[in-house]
Amino acid sequence: PDRYVVIGNPIAHSKSPDIHARFAAQTGEHLQYERLLVPLDGFADALGNLMKSGCRGANVTVPFKLEAFELSSQRSERAEAAGAVNTLRFDGTDIHGDNTDGVGLVNDILCNTPVRIKGARVLLLGAGGAARGVILPLLAQEPAALCIANRTVAKAEELAERFQQWNAGKSRLEACGFEQVAPDFDIIINATSASLSAELPPVPAAVFREGVFAYDMMYGKEPTVFMRHAASHGATARDGLGMLIEQAAEAFFVWRGVRPDTGPVHNALRAAL
Ligand code: ATR
């Protein structure tokens, strides 16, 4: 079978082998997909060894996405825009770097919910790697507005500035601090790492009014703090399990040219949380 790995540190928790095994079984693709724990200073060596051993590709997770970007000999536009790579395809001595995180988010919303991004006013909370990774695919849907809000406002401003060059649909692209967010958004996406410490980005509670779709990139067995907060103010909330599965489906497509059916995989993983 063709061999693939997911590389990270830590990596034991990764659900990617389970997801890709299910995709492979479903599509009849003959492949093997394993976890690879790599020391913090050992990423480049690990890539070299994988390529020598005939490995066909890799997913890359924390903390190696920037290094994967730098070591890629070619990059997709969405990887270029994200400034990070989560999917590598090995082709002879070439390393193709891609980023499927943003498309994963967008596809989860478009394919698995009734929410429309085109024409919507979108609020993106956070301006770190997770936020940057989703901006290009969001802009490609031509939202009416995309406002990036962050604790450190300067980082949000930098991102808004940087992404003007990709704003072909001419969305209103803005930046602000959490406290200044006005209650006029249709979609609110939490890309901060605040959830990790059970904290909330301090946006006014009024933004989570009825009719708002609130998406947390985090997920867990129970609804996240962000989801519970949003729902308690009338919003509809969704966690990031769908994004995880859709980014994997996009990587599977990059490698195999086949699109798996994500619905049954989502149900199975949800049940196993
Ligand atoms: P990631 O790759 O998860 O995006 P990151 O690049 O370190 O990680 O970015 C973390 C993001 O979460 C940043 O937007 C950070 O805000 P700052 O840029 O001001 O640091 C945000 N963040 C982290 N903890 C937060 C908290 N407790 N409240 C609000 N925002 C938080």
- Predicted pLDDT at 201: 96
Q: For the domain covering 2-99+243-272, report its CATH number.
A: 3.40.50.10860
Q: What φ, ψ does residue 40 adopt, rounded to 5°?
A: -55, -30
CA 195 to centroid of ligand 1, rounded, Å = 10
- Predicted pLDDT at 195: 84
Mutate to test the pocket of ligand 1, among 152, 193, 219, 243 (most ligand atoms within 8 A of CB): 193
What are 235-272's pLDDT values in tens digits?
999 999 999 999 999 999 999 999 999 999 999 999 99
Which sequence spans correspond to the domains of the chain? 2-99+243-272, 102-239
d(CA 78, CA 46): 24
d(CA 260, CA 195): 30
Tell me the pTM.
Answer: 0.97
Match 């003959």 to its residue by tokens: 30
Report yes or no: 118 and 143 within 8 Å, Cβ to Cβ.
Answer: yes
d(CA 151, CA 193): 11
Q: Which two tokens stand for residue 145?
A: 């507005």
What are 22-53's pLDDT values in tens digits?
999 999 999 999 999 999 999 999 999 999 99
Whole-number mean pLDDT of the chain? 97
- Which residue pairs from 158-162 have beta carbons closer than 8 angstroms and sit at least 24 positions apart in sequence? 158/127, 159/127, 159/131, 159/132, 159/135
Q: Which residues pair with 97 in a beta bridge?
A: 75, 88
Active-site residue flag, 52: no
- Residue 168 clears pLDDT 90, i.e. is over it: no
Report the residue count for the chain.
273
What are 65-98's pLDDT values in tens digits?
999 999 999 999 999 999 999 999 999 999 999 9
Residue 108 to residues 19, 42, 73, 92, 116, Cα–Cα distance (Å):
15, 33, 29, 33, 11
- Predicted pLDDT at 170: 87
- Predicted pLDDT at 241: 98
- Predicted pLDDT at 198: 87
16 annotated to a ligand binding site: yes
Asked whether this chain's domains 2-99+243-272 and 102-239 adopt the same fold, the reply is: yes
- Which residue pairs from 90-94 have beta carbons closer than 8 angstroms and sit at least 24 positions apart in sequence? 90/50, 90/51, 90/55, 90/56, 90/57, 90/58, 93/51
Positive or negative, the CA dihedral 22, 25, 27, 30 is: positive
Within 6 A (CB) of ligand 1 lie 126-131, 150-152, 155, 192-194, 197, 199, 201
Complex-level ipTM beyond the 0.90 threshold: yes
Q: For the domain covering 102-239, report its CATH number.
A: 3.40.50.720
